[in-house]
Amino acid sequence: MWIERLTLKDFRCFYGEHSLTFSTDESRNVTLIHAENGVGKTTLLNALLWCFYGKLTEKFERRDDLVNLDAREAGRTSAFVEVLFSHNNNRYRARRHTKGGAGDREFVVMRLDAGSNVPVSNPDMFINSVIPEDMAGHFLFDGEHAEVFLGEENRAGIREAVQDILGCSLVRTAIQDLTETATHFRRQAPTSRATAGLEETNRRIDALVEQAAEAEKARDALDADVQHVEQRIADIEAQLRNSTAAKQLQAQRDKATAQLESARRRKREANDAVLKWFSEDGRYLVSTRLSELALESLDQKEMKGRLPAPYNEELVHDLLEAHRCICQRELTVGTPPYEAVQSLLQKAANATLRDRIKKVQTVLNQFKRERPKAPGRLEDANRRVLQADSDIATLERDIEDVSIKLRGIDFDDIAEREKRRNELRREANLKRESIGSFNHRIDQAGREIESLKRELEQLARNDKEARTFLVRSNFCERLKGRLERELKEDERAARGVLRTSIERILAKTSRKHFRLRLSEDYSVSLVNEAGTPLAKSGGENQLLGLAFTAALVEFAKLRQNAEGHKLLRGTIAPLVLDSPFGQLDEDYRGTTASYVPQMAGQVVMLLSRSQCSPPVMDALKDRVGEEYVIVRHNKDKRESRPPETRQFHGRTIETARFGADFDGSTLEQVTQL
Amino acid sequence: MSDTKDDNLHAQRDDRVIEEIIELQREFYFEKKGRQTERRQRLRQLIERSIGSEGDK
């Protein structure tokens, strides 16, 4: 979608009808809108959202009060927003009226077809197919959007964003619906004499599901707290790293911490090896005598021709059927010779028996072969556990020594910072313990639920109707499980694409070299080459937010022709950025401003005077195709207020006017000619 | 052998039902937004129809 023009009539602070033409020139793809606080930047952004989806951003105040006050005083009762746009080589006009403004139809979309307007039959559906509503928020970016990605605290928000752009809406609701439907069917199973206890078991399952959900909520909140505390620890460590007195000690601690992590990993691996030994190699020793005797016995019997027997089943059957022995004696049914030959069948060898004996011999020979090696493997694993334990103890002591030394440094506020760091570390550890306990509760509830479900199945065994409902419920659970697994896999792939994009964008815009860590649980952090989390300044957080948005937009474009029926296709849409440079310093602003035009085909930027610093304007000057300023009109007299003016390409524009006929805003085009 | 055959039949049925569920979600996402009760009612019917009264043997 490319937006060509936005028209507002009596919409919030815009009194009367106003239009804004967006640049559709690919080489000058930026439309710049200058606006100070409180003059209508957020209204413009909300006008687009409202026109397309009838919704407003969360922080938009007086949401039900959309008609301009002076327009109402003048007797007008409705407002509208109209967007002229092109999509897939067609041009459209979407218009939404406030309630009662245009008869029954508040929202219409017309296709402009050779001079005539052809109404689109289902406008909501059409707009959703152009930009799915869930994706729209990531294009119409209200400045606060970046907060979602700040630091590591909002994993849920990040996950939702990735899922939105991945087009998971259908799968997400399908999973929710299947969960609800599985519960519905489970509860529907009727209780009868044959299924007494069904109701009680169902109640217990419901209670456990609720407990698990509450525990998950509490755990997630604690998890977010831990991430927050860890970020504060990383901040303090960065300060210590930058302080001359503490630099060496902190470097020593960084090194010891990395080694400690590695020793802990080695210990885990060695412990796993010990456990593996017990489950795999232990049997070679435990069964020494038994396997020796068995192999010996098999070998002896084989040597004596007893096992397998020297004659096979097929031969005995042939003799009995032919009624003649090998010695040519006649075998008549019921006679002692016939029965003597028939009795051979009890010991006769057949293909299955021969195969089994072969397999037993192979296993016993393996036991014999592996037995001498097994003790060595256990000793080696135990030695590795001991070595790792010893390393861990030494490194923990080293780290504690560094901490004591840091606390002992009696200048600046290093000691205080170190003390605070240790307090935070203790806080994080305590919270982690609570997380562990919640996880344990969740696991336990999960196991109990599974066991109760098995109990339900047992109870329903004697009642066909109850069984049918449980089968339906289990069917829903199975389909849900499959969708969840597939979604997880799609998300994993999406994270990989996004991580690469963000790293590339940060490499272009940031002055530091770092890698992005976007884990499976959606925690985001910047780390150095050694994997140590780095403290981020406010500006870097904002940069990360912008990089994330840019990566999402890029991913949506990449997915515009995606195949497959489960995920919605991506889209190309204009990117609207409201005050994107807030916390960036001048150098970052310049670098970022030169990157912003590359973030999407069409970019709209709303900037206040303070954001239009020389590096920003210099970076944008050759990319701006249209430029507007929002002018504020006031009915009040100017009195002692100083004039508020701005210069645009040699024109002086008064941005706050007094003694006007209305209170509200207008748009003035200031594009360089 | 017959177990494998049953597994394949189940997998094919699961594929088909998942496809139908997604189609249902698509219909409501684009055309009948916000009508959750109706959507879930349709899903129940779809499951009942797919699994039959005898259940998943």
- Calpha distance A386→A566 (Å, rounded): 51
Residue A293 has φ and ψ, to the nearest 5°, of: -60, -45
Is B56 within 8 Å of A124 when comparing Cβ atoms? no
> Are B29 and A479 in contact (CB < 8 Å)?
no
Which of B29, B31, B54 lies at the smallest CB-CB distance from A169? B29
Is any Cβ of chain B less than 8 angstroms from the Cβ of A288?
Answer: no
What pLDDT was estimated at residue A150? 52
- Asked if residues A13 and A664 have their Cβ atoms less than 8 Å apart, the reply is yes
Going by C-beta distance under 8 Å and a sequence separation of 6 or more, which residues neighbour residue A235?
A535
ipTM reported for the complex surpasses 0.85: yes
The number of C-beta contacts closer than 8 angstroms across A and B is 74
Contact check, Cβ <8 Å, B48/A472: yes
Three-state DSSP at A186 gives helix
* pTM value surpassing 0.80: no
- Give A486→chain B minimum CA distance, Å: 12
Predicted confidence at residue A556, as pLDDT, reads: 85
DSSP state string for A113-167: ETTEEEE-S-HHHHHHHHS-HHHHHHHEE-SGGGGGGSTTS-HHHHHHHHHHHHT
Q: Tell me how close the Cα of A377 comes to any Cα of chain B, in angstroms.
A: 39
Q: What angle do CA A184, A188, A191 make, to 5 degrees?
A: 150
Q: Do A184 and B51 touch (CB under 8 A)?
A: no
CA-CA distance, A510 to A587, in Å (whole number)? 10
Residues of A in contact with B44 (CB under 8 A): 181, 184-185
A125 vs B: CB within 8 A: yes
Q: Does A169 touch chain B (CB under 8 A)?
A: yes
User: Between vectors from CA A567 to CA A565 and to CA A571, what angle results, nearest 5°?
Assistant: 115
Q: Which two tokens stand for residue A552?
A: 């999402």
Rounded to 10 deg, the angle between the A414-460 and A374-408 helix axes is 140
What pLDDT score was predicted for residue B56? 46
The pLDDT averaged over each successive group of 10 residues in chain A (673 residues) is 94 93 93 89 88 82 82 90 92 88 75 88 86 80 55 67 84 94 88 72 89 90 82 77 74 86 88 82 73 78 65 82 85 86 78 77 81 85 91 90 77 76 89 90 91 84 83 92 92 88 82 73 72 66 79 84 78 83 77 85 89 88 93 89 87 91 90 76
Q: At what angle do helices B2-30 and A464-509 cross, to 10 degrees?
A: 70
User: Chain A neighbours among B 1-57 (CB < 8 Å)?
Assistant: 14, 17-19, 21-23, 25-26, 28-31, 33, 39-40, 43-44, 47-48, 50-51, 53-56
Residue pair A41/A143 in contact (Cβ under 8 Å)? The answer is no
Residue in chain B closest to A126 (alpha carbons) equals B30
Q: What is the 3-state secondary structure (H, E, C) of A489-546?
A: HHHHHHHHHHHHHHHHHHHHHCCCCCEEEECCCCCEEEECCCCCECCCCHHHHHHHHH
pLDDT of residue B51: 83
Chain A residue numbers with beta carbons less than 8 Å from the beta carbon of B40 are 177, 180-181, 184
Q: What is the pLDDT of residue A421?
A: 86
d(CA A544, CA A309): 78
Contact B56 A170 (CB under 8 A): no
Of A174, A468, A471, the CB nearest to B22: A174
Tokens of A2: 């490319």
Q: Is A81 helix (H, G, I), strand (E, B) or coil?
A: strand
3-state secondary structure of A26: coil
Q: What is the pLDDT of residue A533?
A: 65
